[in-house]
Amino acid sequence: MTKILQPTTEDFITDEQLLSFFDAKEAGKSFPDAINASGLSTPSQKETDILRSLWEMHGNLMRQAHNTTPRHDLLVHIMERIEDAPSSSSVREKKVTSQIAPQGTSVVFGGMNKYFRFIEKINWKILVSSALILLIFVSATGNKNTAVKSVPLAVNEIAEKTIQAPTLMAVSSDEPQALPVADLAMRATINAGPESAVMLDDGPLSSTDIDTFALLVNGGADVDASILDDTDGDVTLIFTDSQSISDFVNAYDETTF
Amino acid sequence: MADKQTAFQELVLRAKAGDKDAFSEIYETHLTPVYRYCYIRLGNREEAEDIVQETFLKAYLALQRFEATRDNFLPYLFTVARNLLINKGKKKHPDLEPGEVMDREDGGMNTSSYAEEKELSQILREAMEILTDDEREIVAQRYFGERTYAEIAATFDKREDAVRQHIARAMKKMRKHLIQYD
């Protein structure tokens, strides 16, 4: 008795024949036409059954895919997330002008994208604090003959106050390299001279002390800054970068007047 | 074709300029295949939506820095979605307990149809689980992402005939698995 071997696998159909079979199905052909398109000639009943199950499985996959539909409100959530995206250019501009940048700084930085990026990355609270300190500083220096004379302070304190204002405004520990050095001349005005009644621990600031400032600035320390004006007892230092301020403060602290 | 390309380029330019309607239009055009692909890979609607959201968010941001065309944008979306899926560690659906089925998608079905559909989706997902990673990914992109063999080949950096071979063998494997339900 001869045993007829029936295919138990899909080995009777090559990969390309199977794909042609599916392609024909996707093109809308009937099952018999798809068999013909695959190039199979007169498949046995067993082979036809296998092809039928492949046909149905393919149909089930397509049907499952077709029934998988996204919710309509998904776009709303995505757009909300886009609105909240930190690096969205439109959002960035909006935040810089309306939230992050305090009033006044937008004038300084207005229209300069590199500053937008810088401002965006630093803490807005620091900017607000800086603006307030700067405001206090401007008020104090604008009325120095009364304010400074009536409240004698040690030079260290004065220097600290006056230097901190531009430092806080322009220097961010998050991204010091983004400092717009060339565009922002950071000024620290230090009240000096006997007539300003600024007191050192051991007496008024003398011309020698002013010379010491000059020494610190112009060569006594590795500070890249210059003295703008010391004719009326005020020494205005112009720092060219944040490191210069840091160097100056360190050198100043280490110097005994 | 050229007109569609030009129209898409105009949409991209408008989207780059911050036109949300333009991006919405781009989104509507590309959402369904990306969602279906994510869904069959995850088997969970909420997770698929998360991936889709993340994908389109990244795409929106990426519009600013790459030259999106009608030809490369959908492949880009699939690449992003696939990377997100890989990062999510859901390639093998570890959180899908035995017997748990995919979420209901069609609220309009009657109960028996719904049950049948859930059973079908579960069976299909189980069948896909026996595939290799490449086969599963290619089947998902072919039948759920509606992508051509050539597009899939480009995504996977394979030859087109290799992709076709993967599909054919995957379908044969899945059928073998499925005959136990007959």
Identify which of A157-166, B107-116, B160-169 has the greatest average pLDDT.
B160-169
The C-alpha atoms of residue A233 and residue A235 are separated, in whole angstroms, by 6
Measured distance CA(B17)–CA(A209) in Å, rounded: 57
CA distances from A73 to A70, A165, B106, B132 (A): 9, 49, 15, 34
Asked if pLDDT for residue B161 goes beyond 80, the answer is: yes
Categorize the per-residue pLDDT at B136 as very low, low, confident or very high, splitting at 50, 70 and 90: very high
Label residue B101 by pLDDT band (50, 70, 90). Answer: very low
Looking at per-residue pLDDT, the higher value among B154 and B116 belongs to B154
Q: What integer pLDDT is reported at residue A214 of this predicted model?
A: 59
Say whether A239 sits in a helix, a strand or coil: strand
CB A66 within 8 A of CB B146: no
Structure tokens at B16: 């780059």
Specify the pLDDT at position A200: 31
Test mutation, B65, B138, B142, B143, chain A, max A CBs within 10 A: B143
> Is the CB of residue A251 less than 8 Å from the CB of residue A223?
yes
Model's pTM, two decimal places? Answer: 0.54
Average pLDDT over residues B137-162: 91
The whole-number pLDDT of residue B153 equals 92
Strand-pair partners of A204:
A199
d(CA A135, CA A168): 13
pLDDT at A211: 59
pLDDT value for B52: 93
pLDDT for the residue numbered A25: 92
Contact check, Cβ <8 Å, B172/A10? yes
A68·B169 Cβ contact <8 A = no
- B24: nearest CB among A60, A62, A75: A75
* Contact between chains at A53 and B175 (C-beta distance less than 8 A): yes
Ranges of chain A with pLDDT below 50: 1-7, 87-122, 144-205, 220, 229, 256-257
Residue-level pLDDT at B126: 86
Give the tokens for residue A257: 């007047």
Q: What is the mean pLDDT of residues B108-128?
A: 68
pLDDT of residue A252: 58
Start-to-end CA span in chain B (Å): 45
Q: How confident is the model at residue B88 (pLDDT cuts 50, 70, 90)?
A: confident
Cα distance between the two ends of chain A: 120
With CA atoms as reference, report the closest residue to B24 among A78, A247, A23.
A78
pLDDT at position B169 is 93
Tell me the CA distances in angstroms from A237 to A103, A135, A161, one per residue in order.
26, 18, 14
pLDDT digits (tens, 9 = 90+) for B6-56: 888 888 888 888 888 888 888 998 999 999 999 998 888 889 999 999 999
Q: Nearest by CB to B60, from A58, A67, A82: name it.
A: A82
Burial of A181 (0-12, 13-18, 19+ CB in 10 A): middle
* Residues of chain B found within 8 Å of residue A62, distances taken between Cβ atoms: 143
Q: What's the pLDDT score for residue A165?
A: 35
CB contact under 8 A, B164 and A81: no
Query: Which chain A residues have a beta carbon less than 8 Å from that of B36?
Result: 65, 68
What whole-number distance in Å separates Cα of residue A212 and Cα of residue A13?
95
Q: Give percent of chain B with pLDDT exceeding 70.
A: 82
